[in-house]
Every structure is written in structure tokens, then in C-alpha cells.
């Protein structure tokens, strides 16, 4: 009996066999097509995830998590620095510094008329401590200055993160310097509260002596003096140009604003002159190899009395310090933080 009679067409059988063979060969080809070709030197391609080495994935994840943790900690610290508590303490610190400037100015004016005293922070703190509430005032002032120092530190680091590189560096230097300065004043308050009363003039001479006797002390001392002179010039430029007005925009365009502006100009110029004199004594001490020439703010102001127009200049600087203190008190209350 023929194949056709049995119902089996030879052509149909042949077609079925071909389809079966093709189906069997296509499955491995599909698997091969789904695999990406190897990269150079037999390494997996860059888009492959299955061939990724464990070291690469495990190395990147910790770095990303560490960066996220640091960023989160910095954000949390910045949020804490914006707290109302730190704002109040920092403003109290500004008020304490303002009060010190007023007392230093009053002592400088008294020196012109022959009264004794130390026209420097230590002398001003001693005047504030000479009352029954002295220890409590000293500890309160220490807390205020410590808070102000922390606030300036946050200005130098946390709040400057989003600034351009040059402005960020400038903020780091200026606010960092102020943070150290306010912190040192706070430590002076703590020292008086504990009964350790020192003389900043003697401390300045001791510091200068150590520097002069060290191998690179003279260049360092000259650099320090020039830096202080530069800060003094900055204060004068800031005062003459009234660049402090943005700190007290609350009174802009008012009659009080004109009075406050006058206080700011006189105060910044007076403080700038005092800093220039202090820096000059550092430079002179380094140039003459005489540490005794460096006597700090008190010594620089008292040295004016030996010159023909010195008493008048000392009187002007003292009045300027009082004006700066009054301006700083307003800054502490109404200024932008």
C-alpha cells in the first residue's frame, strides 16, 4: 500500500522534520543571543551586571553610604546651629563683646587723665568682675562667648558649604579667626571665675619671647603683625565705606539709622587704628629682636602718651571704642544672624 494511501504525504512529513530540526537548533541560539559579548581581554562588558565582580559593587556601596551619612550629619549639625537657643546665646555673646569694648574705651579715656587701668580685654574683665556678682557674671559671660564662638565656627564651616570656592575660603579664614578670638575671651572669663587672673600684656610678651627664640619665630611674628595690621585696615575700610550697614538693615532709612551709622563709622575706624598699632608692635618686636616691645593692645595705647599728639589720639580711640560698643549692642539685638 502506498504512503498516500496510508494518509501520509511524503512532502508533509519532510516539512515536519525540517521544522523539528530548526526548533531544536534555535533554542541554544537564543541563549547565545541573550548573552552580551565579552569586553576587551575577555572581561565582561561594561553594561553587564551578571559578570560584575563582587569587589566593585561592594566597594561602591560603602562609599556612597558613607558620603550620605556625612552629608546627613552635616545637615543635622547645620539645622542645630540654626536653633533658637544658639541664636539667643550667640546674641548674648555679641552683647558681652560690646560691653567689653565700652569698658576698654572708658579705660582708654581715663588713661588720658592719668587714671590707672589696663585698656585691654583682661582689664575690662577685671572691672566687670569687681562686684559681688562677679563669679556669676563671669560664668554667664563665658557661656555667651562660647556660644558665639560655636556660632562663628558654624559660619566658617557648615553654612559656607554652598558658597563658591573663593567665598568659602574667605569665610573659613574670617569666621574661623573670630571663632578663636571669641573662644579665647570666653576662656579669660572662665579663668577669672576660677580665680586665675592673668595679664594679657604679660601673656603677649611671653608669647613673643617664645616665638623670637624659636628657629622660624621672627618670620612668623612678622607675619602675625602684618595680619593684625591687615585686619585693622579692613576695619577702617569697612567703617569708611559703611559696609556694616547690611548688618543693621532694620534701621535703614530712619533717623536712628543715621545715628547708628555714625556710631559704626567712628567705632570701626577706632578699632582699626588700635589693631594697626598692636600689629606694628609685633613687627617692631620681631625687627629689633626685643620681645618686650610687644605689649598688646594696652601697651600700644599707652605708648601713644609719649608722643606730642598721642593723648588726643588716645582720647579719640577711646571714644571710638565706646561708639563701637554701642553699635555692637544694637547689632546684638537687631542685627542679622
For 24-49, how does the pLDDT look when each residue is reduced to its tens digit (9 = 90+)? 444 444 444 445 455 555 555 444 44
Helices 54-81, 134-156: crossing angle, 10 deg rounding: 140
Q: Which residues are within 8 A (CB) of 283 and not within 5 positions of it... i.e. 6 or more apart?
A: 221, 222, 225, 226, 229
Q: Would the CA dihedral through 218, 224, 226, 228 be positive or negative?
A: negative
State the Cα–Cα distance between residues 66 and 64, nearest whole angstrom. Answer: 5
- For residue 102, is pLDDT > 90? yes
What would the mean pLDDT of 311-331 be, rounded to a whole number? 91
Angle at CA of residue 202, ends 314 and 145, nearest 5°: 75
What is the structure's pLDDT at 139?
Answer: 94
For 277-304, how does the pLDDT look when each residue is reduced to its tens digit (9 = 90+)? 888 888 888 888 777 666 778 888 888 8
* More confident site: 119 or 217: 119
> Residue 198 is placed in which grid cell?
592673668
Burial class (CB in 10 A: 0-12, 13-18, 19+), 296: buried
CA neighbor of 105 nearest in space, from 122, 126, 120, 127: 120
Q: What is the mean pLDDT of the chain?
A: 77
State the Cα–Cα distance between residues 224 and 283, nearest whole angstrom. Answer: 8
Q: Scanning the structure block, which residue is given the C-alpha cell 560690646?
A: 98
Domain ranges of the chain: 80-198, 204-321
Count of C-beta atoms within a 10 Å radius of residue 203: 13
* Cα separation values, 68 from 74, 159, 168, 184, Å: 10, 18, 22, 35
- For residue 4, is pLDDT > 70? no
> Residue 297 is placed in which grid cell?
593692645
Q: How would residue 60 be classed by pLDDT, with cut points 50, 70 and 90? A: low
For 243-262, how does the pLDDT look when each residue is reduced to its tens digit (9 = 90+)? 887 777 777 777 788 888 88
Assess contact for 192 and 126: CB atoms under 8 A: yes
* More confident site: 99 or 210: 99
For 134-189, how does the pLDDT look when each residue is reduced to its tens digit (9 = 90+)? 889 999 999 999 999 999 888 888 766 777 787 778 778 878 888 898 998 999 99
- For residue 95, is pLDDT > 90? yes
State the Cα–Cα distance between residues 251 and 262, nearest whole angstrom. Answer: 13
Q: How would residue 12 be classed by pLDDT, with cut points 50, 70 and 90? A: very low
Amino acid at each position: 500500500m502506498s504512503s498516500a494511501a496510508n494518509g501520509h504525504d511524503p512532502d508533509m512529513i519532510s516539512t515536519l522534520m525540517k521544522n523539528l530540526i530548526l526548533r531544536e537548533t534555535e533554542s541554544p541560539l537564543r541563549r547565545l543571543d541573550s548573552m552580551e559579548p565579552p569586553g576587551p581581554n575577555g572581561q565582561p562588558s561594561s553594561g553587564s551586571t551578571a559578570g560584575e565582580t563582587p569587589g566593585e559593587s561592594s566597594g561602591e556601596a560603602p562609599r556612597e553610604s558613607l558620603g550620605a551619612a556625612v552629608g546627613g550629619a552635616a545637615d543635622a549639625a547645620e539645622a542645630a546651629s540654626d536653633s533658637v537657643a544658639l541664636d539667643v546665646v550667640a546674641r548674648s555673646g555679641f552683647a558681652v563683646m560690646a560691653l567689653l569694648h565700652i569698658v576698654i574705651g572708658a579705660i582708654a579715656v581715663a588713661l588720658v587723665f592719668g587714671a590707672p587701668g589696663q585698656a585691654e580685654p583682661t582689664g575690662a574683665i577685671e572691672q566687670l568682675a569687681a562686684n559681688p556678682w562677679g563669679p556669676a557674671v563671669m560664668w554667664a559671660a563665658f557661656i555667651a562667648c562660647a556660644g558665639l564662638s560655636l556660632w562663628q565656627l558654624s559660619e566658617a564651616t557648615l553654612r559656607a558649604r554652598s558658597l563658591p570656592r573663593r567665598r568659602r575660603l574667605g569665610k573659613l579664614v574670617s569666621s574661623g579667626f573670630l571663632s578663636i578670638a571669641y573662644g579665647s575671651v570666653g576662656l579669660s572669663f572662665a579663668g577669672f571665675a576660677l580665680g586665675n587672673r592673668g595679664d594679657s600684656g604679660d601673656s603677649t610678651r611671653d608669647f613673643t619671647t617664645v616665638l623670637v627664640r624659636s628657629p622660624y619665630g621672627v618670620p612668623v611674628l612678622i607675619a602675625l603683625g602684618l595680619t593684625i595690621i591687615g585686619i585693622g585696615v579692613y576695619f577702617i575700610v569697612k567703617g569708611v565705606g559703611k559696609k556694616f550697614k547690611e548688618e543693621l538693615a532694620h534701621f535703614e532709612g530712619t533717623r536712628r539709622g543715621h545715628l547708628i551709622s555714625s556710631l559704626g563709622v567712628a567705632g570701626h575706624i577706632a578699632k582699626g587704628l588700635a589693631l594697626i598699632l598692636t600689629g606694628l608692635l609685633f613687627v617692631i618686636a620681631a625687627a629689633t629682636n626685643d620681645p618686650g616691645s610687644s605689649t598688646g593692645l594696652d601697651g600700644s595705647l599707652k605708648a601713644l602718651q609719649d608722643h606730642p599728639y598721642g593723648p588726643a589720639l588716645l582720647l579719640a580711640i577711646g571714644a571710638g571704642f565706646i561708639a563701637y560698643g554701642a553699635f555692637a549692642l544694637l547689632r546684638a539685638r537687631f542685627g542679622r544672624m
